Structure formats: C-alpha cells, structure tokens
Amino acid sequence: MLRYTDDMTPFSMAEKPSKQYFFLMPFLWLAAFLDTRKLRLKIDRTGMKGIKPPYLVIATHQGPADYSAAPLAMFPHRAMFVSDMEGFAWYGKWLYRGLGCIGKRRYVSDLCVLRNMKYAIARKQAVWVYPESRHSNVGTTAYIPKNLGKLCRVMDVPVVLFTLYGSYLANPFWDELRTRKVPAEGKMRILFSQREVREKSEEEMQEAIEEGLRYDEYDYQSSRGILIRERYRAEGLHMPLYICRRCGERYRMASHGDTLECKACGRSFLLREDGLLEEKAEGGETFRIPDWYEWERALEIKELGDGADAFGKRFAVRVEALPNEKGFVDLGKGELLVDDKEFTLRIGEELLHFPHRIRESVQTEYDYRGRKGKAIVLSTVKCCYYIYCDDDAFNPTQLQFIGEWYFQKSVSG
C-alpha cells in the first residue's frame, strides 16, 4: 500500500544487500506460481544446462508478470534483483530486502548499485537486471543503455538472457490493473560463458544483448493467433497514442471500451481482437500500435528539429517525493519547465535541475497505482520526484520522446 511520511532522509544505497531469506522462498515461489497461473506461463530452461549461480541475468521488462516469472525462472536457485526504490516503499524495507532486492533510482548513475551487484556476485548469487528500467509503453523494447557490455566485463561471470512474451499483452502499461487472458512464454538461456565475457569486446557483447532484448508483443500475438476479447481492451490507449493519425491534433485522443477516438476530427479506431487498430470508416486503414507510436516519435523529433529546439513549456504540477523506504512525502504544488537543456522543477523557492545529457530516458506513469493520475518521475541520487499534472497538454509519452531525443543529441555531439 502507498505510505506517506515527512522524513526526507535519503535511502542508504551503500547498505549491503541481503540474500533472499531462505524461509521466504517457498512462499515466494507459491505466490509467483499462483500469480502466473492465469497466464498459463511456460518457461523454457533448456539453454541453462550445466550452469549454477553466480551469473548475471539480463531480462526484458514488459509488465507486472515479469516479477513473478523471475523467481520461477530461477527455481530452485535464489537471485538478487536490481529494483526501483518504489518497491521498498510499497512492501517495506525488511520484506523487500528479504526478497533479495538491490535499491536503485531509475535513469540515475550510482556506483553504489554497481558495488552491491559485485557484492552479490561475490556471495555466489545470481544478479537480475532489467535494462529497460520501466514497463513497455506499447509492447516493444524501450531504450537500452549502452553500457551493458561494460557491465558484463565488470561482473566477470556468465551472462544469462531471460525473455518473456505475453506480459505486456496481459497487462498493457496503459491499463495495467486489469489482466487480459493471454498465454505467457519465457525463455532462459546462456548468452555468454565466463570465458566469452573475458574474450569478447564490450561492443560485441552490447550488440548481442540488444539483439537478445528485442521484442514486439504484437508480433508475438500474431504468431500465436492470440485473440484478446475483453470489451475494455482499448481503455487507456490514448495515453501512448496521443496524436491523431488523421488530423494530427495532440492531446485530443480518448479511449473507451474497444475504441480509440479523436475528439478533434471525430475519427475513431476499433482495437480488434487480433491487436490491430482499424479505422471505423468505409475503406478505413489498419494500424499497428507500435507503428503509430514510432510515427509520433518521428513527428516530435522532426518538429523539434524544424523549430531549432524551440520546445519550451511550463506546467502547474503537484509533486510527491520518494527519498526512502518510509514512503512518499507530499511536497504540494510546483511548476515544471521543459526546454532543450533540461527539466526544471520549482517547489516553493527551491529549483531542481534535471539535465537531458545525463538522463537517457524519462520514467512515465499513465495512471499511477490506478488513482494518482498521469505523471513523469525524475530522480536524483537522493530522491525520486513524482510529478503529476492534470493539464491536457501534459502527456508523459511526449515528454519521454523529448527527453530521449535531447539525450541522444547531447551524446552524439
């Protein structure tokens, strides 16, 4: 449950992580089995013959089922999971440490996290990481950090790849609290032996990891002939698909039942059971959701380029801080400025700066915990700031696109 506090003391990232408490493991495996039973989860471990911890697991991150699939994939071994700070606040420090979690703030570089991973490896534990750092917006791979080859070299253990299909389709990020009836399939295999980690270049390992993490949930749906029949299957889709494909208006998309529609031009699109969007008009076109999403990204980038980085907006926001495991701190009203250099958050007289050049992506929340509303999350080493806004022009997907583009531009020179 969400908890609140007035304690702004930062969580100690330097504290050594704990092995998963052995007495919790039967309960964890049982809970994971029951949670994934409705997805009829199958995990292929044939590629894991002859390997035992310690090793590094690099996994896809599509949706909530990922967390239950992970301990089942590790069975009968234990693992330690690099996890966002939110979990510590949600479950409590004792339990989350007991589940083997290593605290991290998304899109923030912190050597303490690396040291804790090395510590876990030294204790003969598997360490599990989700490089995408967030659930998939539209069922395709999110931004992959470019330092994974280097991470493999530093860990100096075998590297295992875990891919899970069906997790996003069952609980799409834009409507995560309701589960669709979708079969899930996991696959765990050795990507590099320890010898290969030592012999391959960091660039070779990075390329292989990025290829291994590539997925498209709608391709999976098509290849398996999966039909999603829930009548509410399109509800929430207007959050990632916020630009009308017909009239080009932003922030006027809405969704209800099985339909996505534009309030500006009146066009509507049926989300079919097979996952395609079909325009409700004679001779109407069909669209893949990931293609629509990437069309939006390209449009935002083009307009930013044409405007010579002219993007600049101010939003009246409300802010909650998450400094530690004790819970959220309500900081009240504030103002968020977005420009070509950074996100700037004003809270009273305090100004917080989040430069694009050090943040490869932006954490999006479409309806946090089903009751908090749309938000983005910006973090420092000491605190996560959950920034909510009710303005129609505040769209987390757009802000993510903008932040990622400015980051790419800064690192490319």
- The pLDDT tens digits for 1-14 are 678 999 999 999 88
Domain ranges of the chain: 22-224, 230-272+275-307, 313-412
d(CA 336, CA 317) in angstroms, rounded, equals 7
pLDDT at res. 411: 84
Which pLDDT band, with edges at 50, 70 and 90, does 413 fall under?
A: low
Running DSSP on this structure, what letter comes out for residue 170? Answer: H
Query: What 3-state DSSP class applies to 351?
Result: strand
Calculate mean pLDDT across residues 254-274. 98
Running DSSP on this structure, what letter comes out for residue 130? Answer: -
Cβ neighbour number for residue 103 with a 10 Å cutoff: 25
d(CA 4, CA 335) in angstroms, rounded, equals 22
Calculate mean pLDDT across residues 290-317. 85
Block residue for tokens 């002219």: 310
Cβ neighbour number for residue 60 with a 10 Å cutoff: 25
pLDDT at res. 1: 67
**Cα atoms in the Cβ-side hemisphere of radius 13 Å centred on 90:** 9
Calculate mean pLDDT across residues 4-32. 93
Walk across the sheet containing 327-338 and list its strands: 350-355, 342-347, 327-338, 313-324, 384-388, 375-379, 363-365
**List of residues 6+ apart from 283 with CB closer than 8 A:** none
Calculate mean pLDDT across residues 317-338. 96
Calculate mean pLDDT across residues 6-23. 92
Nearest to 329 by CA among 318, 313, 340, 343: 318
pLDDT at res. 105: 94
Greatest Cα pair distance, the chain, in angstroms, is: 64
CATH second-level architecture of 313-412?
Answer: Roll (2.30)
pLDDT at res. 310: 54
pLDDT at res. 305: 77
Calculate mean pLDDT across residues 189-201. 98
* Residue 126 near residue 76, CB atoms below 8 Å: no
Q: What percent of the chain has pLDDT over 90?
A: 89
List, for residues 216-229, the tens digit of each pLDDT value: 999 999 999 999 99
Would residue 201 be called left, alpha or beta, if left means φ above 0 and alpha means ψ between -120 and 50 degrees?
A: beta
pLDDT at res. 3: 85
pLDDT at res. 218: 98
Which pLDDT band, with edges at 50, 70 and 90, does 303 fall under?
A: confident
Which pLDDT band, with edges at 50, 70 and 90, does 282 fall under?
A: confident
Which pLDDT band, with edges at 50, 70 and 90, does 307 fall under?
A: low
pLDDT at res. 370: 79
**Cα atoms in the Cβ-side hemisphere of radius 13 Å centred on 46:** 2
| Model confidence at 306: pLDDT above 80 | no
Which pLDDT band, with edges at 50, 70 and 90, does 159 fall under?
A: very high
Nearest to 176 by CA among 142, 127, 228, 137: 137
| Model confidence at 311: pLDDT above 70 | no
* Residue 85 near residue 325, CB atoms below 8 Å: yes
Calculate mean pLDDT across residues 289-305. 94
Calculate mean pLDDT across residues 119-148. 96
Chain mean pLDDT for the chain: 94
Cβ neighbour number for residue 362 with a 10 Å cutoff: 26
Calculate mean pLDDT across residues 170-192. 97
d(CA 51, CA 197) in angstroms, rounded, equals 15
